[in-house]
Amino acid sequence: MLPTQIKPDFSWSEVDTVLLDMDGTLLDKYFDDHFWEEYVPKIFAERNNLSEQEARKELLKRYQNVENTLQWTDLDYWSEQLGLDIPELKCKVDHLIQVHPYVTDFLDYIKRIGKTVHLVTNAHSKTLDIKLRKTALGPYFDRIVCAEEIGYAKEQVEFWSQLEAVLQFEKSRTLLADDTAKVLHSAKRYNMGFLLFVARPSSRIPLKYSTDFPSIVTFNELIP
Protein backbone atom coordinates (compact mmCIF):
# COMPACT_ATOMS: atom_id res chain seq x y z
CA MET A 1 0.00 0.00 0.00
CA LEU A 2 1.36 3.42 -0.99
CA PRO A 3 2.23 5.61 2.01
CA THR A 4 0.19 8.79 2.37
CA GLN A 5 1.96 11.90 1.14
CA ILE A 6 3.27 14.18 3.87
CA LYS A 7 2.83 17.51 2.11
CA PRO A 8 5.44 20.26 2.40
CA ASP A 9 4.42 22.85 4.98
CA PHE A 10 6.70 25.86 4.93
CA SER A 11 6.70 29.43 3.70
CA TRP A 12 9.33 30.69 1.28
CA SER A 13 9.82 33.63 3.66
CA GLU A 14 11.42 31.11 6.07
CA VAL A 15 14.04 30.01 3.51
CA ASP A 16 17.18 31.84 2.37
CA THR A 17 19.15 28.98 0.79
CA VAL A 18 18.04 26.02 -1.35
CA LEU A 19 20.24 22.94 -1.72
CA LEU A 20 19.30 20.62 -4.57
CA ASP A 21 20.54 17.13 -5.34
CA MET A 22 21.08 16.27 -9.00
CA ASP A 23 20.43 12.62 -9.93
CA GLY A 24 16.86 11.59 -9.22
CA THR A 25 15.97 15.03 -7.89
CA LEU A 26 16.54 17.37 -10.83
CA LEU A 27 17.40 14.70 -13.39
CA ASP A 28 15.56 11.50 -14.24
CA LYS A 29 17.41 8.68 -12.48
CA TYR A 30 16.50 6.29 -15.29
CA PHE A 31 19.78 7.23 -16.97
CA ASP A 32 21.84 6.14 -13.96
CA ASP A 33 19.80 3.00 -13.29
CA HIS A 34 20.05 1.91 -16.90
CA PHE A 35 23.74 2.74 -17.12
CA TRP A 36 24.88 0.85 -14.01
CA GLU A 37 22.36 -1.99 -14.02
CA GLU A 38 22.07 -2.72 -17.75
CA TYR A 39 24.66 -1.00 -19.96
CA VAL A 40 27.82 -1.48 -17.86
CA PRO A 41 27.02 -5.18 -17.15
CA LYS A 42 26.49 -5.71 -20.90
CA ILE A 43 29.87 -4.20 -21.80
CA PHE A 44 31.60 -5.90 -18.84
CA ALA A 45 30.16 -9.26 -19.95
CA GLU A 46 31.40 -8.78 -23.52
CA ARG A 47 34.91 -7.85 -22.36
CA ASN A 48 35.20 -10.70 -19.83
CA ASN A 49 33.46 -13.56 -21.66
CA LEU A 50 30.59 -13.69 -19.15
CA SER A 51 26.85 -13.89 -19.51
CA GLU A 52 25.04 -10.64 -18.76
CA GLN A 53 23.45 -12.33 -15.76
CA GLU A 54 26.87 -13.33 -14.40
CA ALA A 55 28.23 -9.84 -15.04
CA ARG A 56 25.24 -8.18 -13.36
CA LYS A 57 25.63 -10.40 -10.28
CA GLU A 58 29.36 -9.67 -10.02
CA LEU A 59 28.91 -5.93 -10.47
CA LEU A 60 26.03 -5.72 -7.99
CA LYS A 61 28.29 -7.24 -5.36
CA ARG A 62 31.02 -4.70 -6.14
CA TYR A 63 28.56 -1.81 -6.08
CA GLN A 64 27.20 -2.84 -2.69
CA ASN A 65 30.70 -3.02 -1.22
CA VAL A 66 31.19 0.74 -1.69
CA GLU A 67 27.60 1.99 -1.45
CA ASN A 68 27.20 5.31 0.43
CA THR A 69 30.91 6.12 0.02
CA LEU A 70 32.76 8.48 -2.31
CA GLN A 71 34.07 5.49 -4.27
CA TRP A 72 30.54 4.58 -5.39
CA THR A 73 30.31 7.68 -7.57
CA ASP A 74 34.03 7.91 -8.50
CA LEU A 75 34.25 7.25 -12.24
CA ASP A 76 38.05 6.91 -12.10
CA TYR A 77 37.67 4.23 -9.42
CA TRP A 78 35.22 2.24 -11.55
CA SER A 79 37.28 2.66 -14.72
CA GLU A 80 40.23 1.14 -12.87
CA GLN A 81 38.22 -1.58 -11.13
CA LEU A 82 36.34 -2.72 -14.21
CA GLY A 83 38.91 -2.08 -16.92
CA LEU A 84 36.43 0.14 -18.77
CA ASP A 85 36.42 3.80 -19.75
CA ILE A 86 33.35 4.74 -17.71
CA PRO A 87 33.17 8.43 -18.76
CA GLU A 88 33.35 7.39 -22.43
CA LEU A 89 30.58 4.82 -21.90
CA LYS A 90 28.40 7.46 -20.21
CA CYS A 91 28.78 9.72 -23.23
CA LYS A 92 27.61 6.90 -25.51
CA VAL A 93 24.20 6.80 -23.80
CA ASP A 94 23.92 10.46 -22.79
CA HIS A 95 20.76 10.80 -24.91
CA LEU A 96 19.02 9.21 -21.90
CA ILE A 97 19.91 12.16 -19.63
CA GLN A 98 16.67 14.07 -19.04
CA VAL A 99 15.59 16.89 -16.74
CA HIS A 100 12.50 16.14 -14.63
CA PRO A 101 9.30 18.05 -15.48
CA TYR A 102 8.93 21.55 -13.96
CA VAL A 103 12.56 21.71 -12.76
CA THR A 104 13.45 24.77 -14.84
CA ASP A 105 10.15 26.44 -13.87
CA PHE A 106 11.06 25.91 -10.22
CA LEU A 107 14.63 27.17 -10.67
CA ASP A 108 13.32 30.27 -12.44
CA TYR A 109 10.89 30.84 -9.58
CA ILE A 110 13.35 30.56 -6.69
CA LYS A 111 15.84 32.82 -8.45
CA ARG A 112 13.06 35.32 -9.10
CA ILE A 113 12.15 35.46 -5.41
CA GLY A 114 15.78 35.99 -4.46
CA LYS A 115 16.86 32.67 -2.96
CA THR A 116 20.43 31.43 -3.05
CA VAL A 117 20.49 28.03 -4.77
CA HIS A 118 23.28 25.47 -4.80
CA LEU A 119 23.60 22.12 -6.56
CA VAL A 120 24.97 19.63 -4.03
CA THR A 121 25.72 16.18 -5.42
CA ASN A 122 27.55 12.95 -4.68
CA ALA A 123 28.18 12.69 -8.42
CA HIS A 124 31.78 12.62 -9.59
CA SER A 125 33.03 15.79 -11.28
CA LYS A 126 33.32 13.95 -14.62
CA THR A 127 29.68 12.84 -14.36
CA LEU A 128 28.71 16.38 -13.47
CA ASP A 129 30.46 17.77 -16.56
CA ILE A 130 28.66 15.31 -18.84
CA LYS A 131 25.25 16.10 -17.36
CA LEU A 132 25.65 19.87 -17.25
CA ARG A 133 26.71 19.87 -20.90
CA LYS A 134 23.62 17.87 -21.76
CA THR A 135 21.09 19.80 -19.65
CA ALA A 136 22.43 23.39 -19.52
CA LEU A 137 21.27 23.74 -15.89
CA GLY A 138 24.60 25.08 -14.62
CA PRO A 139 23.83 28.83 -14.87
CA TYR A 140 20.93 28.50 -12.43
CA PHE A 141 23.23 27.76 -9.49
CA ASP A 142 25.19 30.14 -7.30
CA ARG A 143 27.61 27.30 -6.54
CA ILE A 144 27.94 23.64 -7.52
CA VAL A 145 29.55 21.32 -4.96
CA CYS A 146 30.54 17.69 -5.52
CA ALA A 147 31.03 15.42 -2.53
CA GLU A 148 34.62 14.74 -3.62
CA GLU A 149 35.37 18.42 -2.90
CA ILE A 150 34.00 18.06 0.64
CA GLY A 151 35.66 14.72 1.35
CA TYR A 152 32.52 12.96 2.57
CA ALA A 153 29.43 11.48 0.92
CA LYS A 154 26.10 13.18 1.66
CA GLU A 155 25.01 10.11 3.64
CA GLN A 156 27.64 11.05 6.23
CA VAL A 157 26.63 13.75 8.72
CA GLU A 158 30.14 15.26 8.52
CA PHE A 159 29.35 16.28 4.95
CA TRP A 160 26.87 18.93 6.08
CA SER A 161 29.07 20.70 8.61
CA GLN A 162 31.87 20.85 6.03
CA LEU A 163 29.42 22.12 3.41
CA GLU A 164 28.21 24.82 5.78
CA ALA A 165 31.81 26.00 6.21
CA VAL A 166 32.20 26.18 2.42
CA LEU A 167 28.88 27.81 1.53
CA GLN A 168 28.26 29.87 4.69
CA PHE A 169 24.51 29.20 4.91
CA GLU A 170 22.28 29.38 7.97
CA LYS A 171 21.08 25.80 8.35
CA SER A 172 17.83 26.74 10.11
CA ARG A 173 16.87 28.76 7.01
CA THR A 174 18.05 26.21 4.43
CA LEU A 175 15.93 23.77 2.42
CA LEU A 176 17.34 20.51 1.03
CA ALA A 177 15.56 18.44 -1.63
CA ASP A 178 16.88 14.93 -2.30
CA ASP A 179 15.55 11.57 -3.50
CA THR A 180 17.67 9.49 -1.10
CA ALA A 181 16.26 8.84 2.38
CA LYS A 182 19.72 8.18 3.87
CA VAL A 183 20.86 11.62 2.75
CA LEU A 184 17.83 13.30 4.29
CA HIS A 185 18.30 11.40 7.56
CA SER A 186 21.94 12.52 7.60
CA ALA A 187 20.87 16.15 7.06
CA LYS A 188 18.23 15.75 9.77
CA ARG A 189 20.90 14.67 12.28
CA TYR A 190 22.76 17.84 11.33
CA ASN A 191 19.54 19.82 12.05
CA MET A 192 18.95 21.11 8.53
CA GLY A 193 15.95 23.45 8.56
CA PHE A 194 13.69 22.04 5.86
CA LEU A 195 13.89 18.61 4.20
CA LEU A 196 12.00 17.39 1.12
CA PHE A 197 11.88 13.92 -0.40
CA VAL A 198 11.48 13.49 -4.17
CA ALA A 199 9.07 10.59 -4.51
CA ARG A 200 9.65 9.63 -8.15
CA PRO A 201 13.37 9.81 -8.90
CA SER A 202 12.99 7.71 -12.07
CA SER A 203 10.24 8.03 -14.64
CA ARG A 204 10.32 4.24 -15.03
CA ILE A 205 9.40 3.34 -11.44
CA PRO A 206 6.24 3.96 -9.39
CA LEU A 207 6.23 6.92 -7.05
CA LYS A 208 6.74 6.16 -3.37
CA TYR A 209 6.19 8.79 -0.73
CA SER A 210 8.45 8.97 2.32
CA THR A 211 7.00 7.99 5.67
CA ASP A 212 9.51 10.30 7.41
CA PHE A 213 9.73 13.45 5.30
CA PRO A 214 7.45 15.76 3.32
CA SER A 215 7.36 14.53 -0.27
CA ILE A 216 6.90 15.99 -3.72
CA VAL A 217 6.52 14.28 -7.07
CA THR A 218 7.39 17.29 -9.23
CA PHE A 219 8.70 20.73 -8.33
CA ASN A 220 5.63 22.63 -9.47
CA GLU A 221 4.18 21.59 -6.07
CA LEU A 222 6.52 24.19 -4.52
CA ILE A 223 5.51 27.07 -6.80
CA PRO A 224 2.60 29.10 -5.33
Concatenating the DSSP letter of every residue in 81-101 gives: HHTS-HHHHHHHTGGG--BPT
Please indicate, yes or no, whether residues 90 and 201 belong to a single structural domain of this protein. Answer: no
Evaluate whether 82 touches 44 at the Cβ level (below 8 Å): yes
> Is the pTM value of this prediction over 0.85?
yes
59 contacts: CB under 8 Å, gap ≥ 6: 36, 40, 41, 44, 82
Per-residue model confidence (pLDDT) at position 204: 95
Per-residue model confidence (pLDDT) at position 161: 96
Per-residue model confidence (pLDDT) at position 1: 73
How many H helices and E strands in the chain?
Answer: 10, 6
Give the containing element (helix H, strand E) for 17: strand 17-20
Taking only the tens of pLDDT, the chain with its 224 residues reads 778 999 999 999 999 999 999 999 999 999 999 999 999 999 999 999 999 999 999 999 999 999 888 899 999 999 999 999 999 999 999 999 999 999 999 999 999 999 999 999 999 999 999 999 999 999 999 999 999 999 999 999 999 999 999 999 999 999 999 999 999 999 999 999 999 999 999 999 999 999 999 999 999 999 99
Per-residue model confidence (pLDDT) at position 2: 75
CA 38 to the chain's CA centroid:
19
Please indicate, yes or no, whether residues 65 and 109 belong to a single structural domain of this protein. Answer: no
Q: Indicate the Cα dihedral angle 153, 155, 159, 164, nearest 10°.
A: 130
Domain end among 95, 117, 150? 95
Please indicate, yes or no, whether residues 133 and 22 belong to a single structural domain of this protein. Answer: yes
Per-residue model confidence (pLDDT) at position 134: 96
Please indicate, yes or no, whether residues 24 and 129 belong to a single structural domain of this protein. Answer: yes
Per-residue model confidence (pLDDT) at position 91: 96
- 45 assigned to some structural domain: yes
Give the containing element (helix H, strand E) for 78: helix 75-82
- 48 assigned to some structural domain: yes
Q: Indicate the Cα dihedral angle 184, 156, 23, 25, nearest 10°.
A: 10
- 176 assigned to some structural domain: yes
